[in-house]
Amino acid sequence: MNRFNKYFSFLILCIIPVLTNAQQVMKSMTDTAAFINSLAQFSRSTQTIQGEFVQEKKLKMLNDKVVSKGSLYFKKENKLRWEYTEPFSYIISLNNGKVMLKDEGKVSSYDANANKLFLELNDILITCINGNIFKSKKFSFRFFETEKNNIAEMTPVNSAMKKFIDKIILYFDKTDFTVTKVDMLEPSQNSTVILFKNKKLNGDIAEKYFILN
Amino acid sequence: MKVDQIFFNLFCRRHLRFVFASFCCCFLLSSCSPKMFADLKSGEGRYSKGMLALFRPGKNESLVYKTMIKYKDKEFSSLTYLNALNDSVFKIVLLSNFGNTLLEAEISRDRFTVSNVISYLNRKPILKLLEGDWRILLGGNLKRSIPKLFTENSQSTVFDFADGRTNNLYHYDPVAKSVTMIESYKGKSKKVLVSIDSMQDFQPEVFSIEHPSLHLKITMSLLKKASNDSVE
């Protein structure tokens, strides 16, 4: 095989998976404005969200995966309970600017406004859920779609955040606009996938879920 | 040479400096090897390879520890993953409770390589402390030499792995066939105390690493071996 043929074969081998993958996976979203409007409409009509999640972390350095499970409760305007039940119990509750953590039965309370990290966390989690995330100047956005999902790819603009997160990819269900999957990619090439299931919209959620004691 | 000349040479400025430096060296050297660690016999015959090894992680399944770090009045928790690449290389990964990677490192007999670390942990004293702690914990896994025998009675045999001014004492319970405590001394002062509170399948289930002089205590509880289930 001459030199040209070698390079040509190598090029073909590189291109084929890219092309086939592109066809199978996703294409650029045709009407981004319509998607953002529909999402805003869905957010306006949603008072509460509850569901379960499974989180899987893939570490480049280890062969095994790290799987955690738990549940999520959101109540308008800004109340959120993110609860890990497996492999151990850990709860974070955001309640009108107050952050509460329950770890091994011990509760710690923080003022989100006094702690930059919690303020960021509070802002990202709440805006992701209430649909205002696309107004954020902390990320640049790209939109894609598949047959079943609208996909928003968020890249941090802020250099401090870039150290932790390379990209966050949100997968929205095309039928009900809820987030079904989140992919978080780290600069270290480690990644976290969170899958949401058993979602319930606009059900009653007692206030006690957002108060930890 | 006359006596007064010798006297002059000995006490002239240059020589005084030399005498003072020699005295300091003698003082330091004597403090390097406290009496308690002097003239210890070899542990040969009592020690067998691997008996002081605390961890036996597999290559495909990590040991997962919930890690509570208490520094002065502050307390926070994280997850520690420990995995063995082979008998002499271990991988250590620290994750936040949310799953963010805090640190990824590899430790072997003569190397500690950090491949990824979050900026607020990327400080030499923190990384050195972390390396030191894991060297103590993995001493029984990584050391090739035969330790010295420190003390021995029916309830425990204490082995000493010495390295320069540092002496690490491994308390071994011959009945349970496991390490129950590790003390790390620098000179005469105890710098680190590892207490193993419970064991599971010959590996520590709950243990703590205490740095009394730093007011730092790290408690680690075995959650379980990492799962290979997939969410997709």
Q: What's the pLDDT band for A188 if we cut at 50, 70, 90?
A: confident
Closest-CA residue of chain B to A192:
B99
Q: Where are the beta strands (DSSP E) in B72-188?
A: 74-86, 89-95, 101-108, 112-117, 148-152, 157-163, 166-173, 178-186
- When pLDDT is averaged across residues A18-34 and rounded to a whole number, the result is 69
Q: In what order do the strands lie in the sheet with A167-173?
A: A27-28, A139-145, A149-156, A167-173, A179-185, A191-201, A48-58, A65-75, A79-86, A90-95, A98-103, A106-111
Q: What's the pLDDT band for A132 if we cut at 50, 70, 90?
A: confident
Residues of chain A that touch chain B, judged by Cβ-Cβ distance less than 8 Å: 54-57, 59-68, 84, 87-88, 90, 103-104, 106, 108, 163-164, 186, 188, 190, 192-193, 195
**B229 inside 8 A of chain A by CB:** yes
The one-character DSSP state at B175 is T
ipTM: 0.73
- pLDDT string in tens for chain B (232-residue length): 554 565 555 455 555 565 556 555 544 444 456 778 888 888 888 899 889 999 887 667 888 899 999 998 888 889 999 988 888 899 999 998 888 889 999 999 999 999 989 888 999 999 999 999 999 999 999 998 999 999 988 889 999 999 888 999 999 999 999 999 999 999 889 999 999 999 888 889 999 999 999 999 999 999 865 444 444 4
CATH code of the region A45-210: 2.50.20.10
Contact residues on chain A for B91, CB-CB shorter than 8 A: 61-62
Q: What's the CA gap between A101 and B10, in Å, rounded?
A: 69
Tell me the residues of chain B between 187 and 226 that have a Cβ less than 8 Å away from chain A.
223-224, 226
Residue ranges per domain, chain A?
45-210
Q: Which of A14-18, A133-137, A162-166, A167-171 has the lowest mean pLDDT?
A: A14-18
CA distances from B231 to A66, A195, A196, B214 (A): 10, 7, 10, 42
What is the predicted pLDDT for the residue at B225? 54
Closest-CA residue of chain B to A89:
B97
Tens digits of per-residue pLDDT, A105-129? 888 888 766 666 666 766 776 777 6
Q: Which of A92-96, A166-170, B123-127, B164-168 has the lowest mean pLDDT?
A: A92-96
